[in-house]
Amino acid sequence: MSQRPTLRDVARQSGVSEISVSRVMRNAPNISIKLRARVEAAARELGYTPNRLAGGLKSQTSGLVAVVVPSMSNNVFPEVVDGIDRILFLSSRRPVLGLTHYDSDREERIIRDLLSWSPSGIILAGLEHSDGSRRMLENANIPVIEIMDIDGTPIDTAIGISQHDAARAMADHLVDRGYRRIGYIGAWGEAPSRSLKRRLSFEERLNERDTPLVARLIAPEASSISVGRAACAQILADSARLDALFFANDDLAVGGLLHCMVSGIEVPGQLALAGFNGIDFIDAMPQQLTTIQTPRGKMGEAAAQALIDRSSHEARQSIVDLGFILRARDTT
């Protein structure tokens, strides 16, 4: 792994003094637009992040662990973060959270800000990042743990499940149950996220089983129960002969189930429904939803433990598959 870029490297790359670079990085007043652009371009190219602790600590890392996830408003990431915190609490490290809202530019800014505090490691969701984010992470010289997804090449260590295998398993389940007119419902924030991988793998497996996807609807809003209910109504109005629906997550699927309940659609007699994640509240529904159970709390714990166990900063590109469970229940 290359050494972490320094302020001197940025000065050399941009052709200005170290003092000028320092002023830009501290957001000092009276800096010309041209100078700022020149320095920031050099910093971005090098993957440079300022070290806010360099002047006050001998150690180059703090006891902080950067945790970067898309959201805390759904029912997935709170369990992941709770798992991370459970393990870190037993050590001298503490998590600092950043939310990307599925925005790669926002993720890059958050990574830059968090790395500037010299965390002892970083845990972040997914394997897909902007070029700028990837350069910073590769040059940070700290453990980088990417979670949720293992279908790809990690910067350092990936811990999660195969979205590809999970989607194919659900496709096989629906086809094996006799469903032939299958639709899919997703929501905003899909590309280039894990749900996109699942959808593409789901469609690929259906094609291999000679049961091509009949209808697809990607709602323009973020996932929620109400969005799932409206999307289910819309896709059934457009494609009335569907006999099964696979939803990108359980929030959407519960909305679909509610639509069927109030509309008198028999589940699974007239329409089968399946979700993804296995969130706790689906167990309280009148009908038990078929879903893919993901080990979210265990994922967070494993990520935190992997970070703690790392005695070397060398990138290992290791992959830890925690597996999933297809819970075939009332709705299929």
Region 184-192 average pLDDT: 80
Percent of the chain residues topping a pLDDT of 90: 80
Q: Residues 212, 284: one domain?
A: yes
Whole-angstrom Cα Rg for the chain = 23
Single out the residue of 113, 121, 122, 144 nearest to residue 68, CA to CA.
Answer: 122
Q: Residues 198, 151: one domain?
A: no
Q: What is the pLDDT of residue 313?
A: 53
Is residue 286 reached through a cis peptide bond, with omega within 30 degrees of 0 on the bond before it? no
Residues in the chain: 332
Q: Residues 135, 176: one domain?
A: no
SS3 170: helix
CATH code of the domain in which 68 resides: 3.40.50.2300
* Residue 332 maps to a domain: no
Single out the residue of 74, 168, 148, 104 nearest to residue 298, CA to CA.
Answer: 148
* Residue 331 maps to a domain: no
Q: What is the pLDDT of residue 25?
A: 84
CATH code of the domain in which 18 resides: 1.10.260.40
Q: Residues 258, 307: one domain?
A: no
Residue 191 has pLDDT above 90, yes or no: no
User: How many whole angstroms separate alpha carbon 332 and alpha carbon 327?
Assistant: 10
Q: What is the pLDDT of residue 257?
A: 98
Q: What is the mean pLDDT of the chain?
A: 92
Residue 150 has pLDDT above 50, yes or no: yes
Q: Residues 127, 189: one domain?
A: no
Q: Residues 170, 316: one domain?
A: no
User: How many whole angstroms separate alpha carbon 76 and alpha carbon 222?
Assistant: 14
Q: Residues 61, 150: one domain?
A: yes
* Residue 131 maps to a domain: yes
Residue 56 has pLDDT above 50, yes or no: no
Domain total in the chain: 3
| Non-local CB neighbours of 173 within 8 Å, separated by 6+ positions | 274, 290, 326, 328, 332
Candidate ranges 36-40, 72-76, 175-179; pick with highest mean pLDDT: 175-179
Domain hosting 221: range is: 163-293
Q: Residues 101, 250: one domain?
A: no
Q: What is the pLDDT of residue 310?
A: 80
User: How many whole angstroms separate alpha carbon 245 and alpha carbon 26?
Assistant: 52
Q: Residues 151, 98: one domain?
A: yes
User: How many whole angstroms separate alpha carbon 261 and alpha carbon 39?
Assistant: 59
* Residue 330 maps to a domain: no
Q: Residues 157, 174: one domain?
A: no
Q: Residues 89, 142: one domain?
A: yes
* Residue 259 maps to a domain: yes
* Residue 305 maps to a domain: yes
Which parts of 94-218 fold into alpha helices (H)?
104-115, 131-139, 163-176, 194-208
DSSP category for residue 293: E
* Residue 30 maps to a domain: yes
Of residues 108 and 190, more confidence is placed in: 108
* Residue 264 maps to a domain: yes
Q: Residues 167, 263: one domain?
A: yes
Residue 239 has pLDDT above 60, yes or no: yes
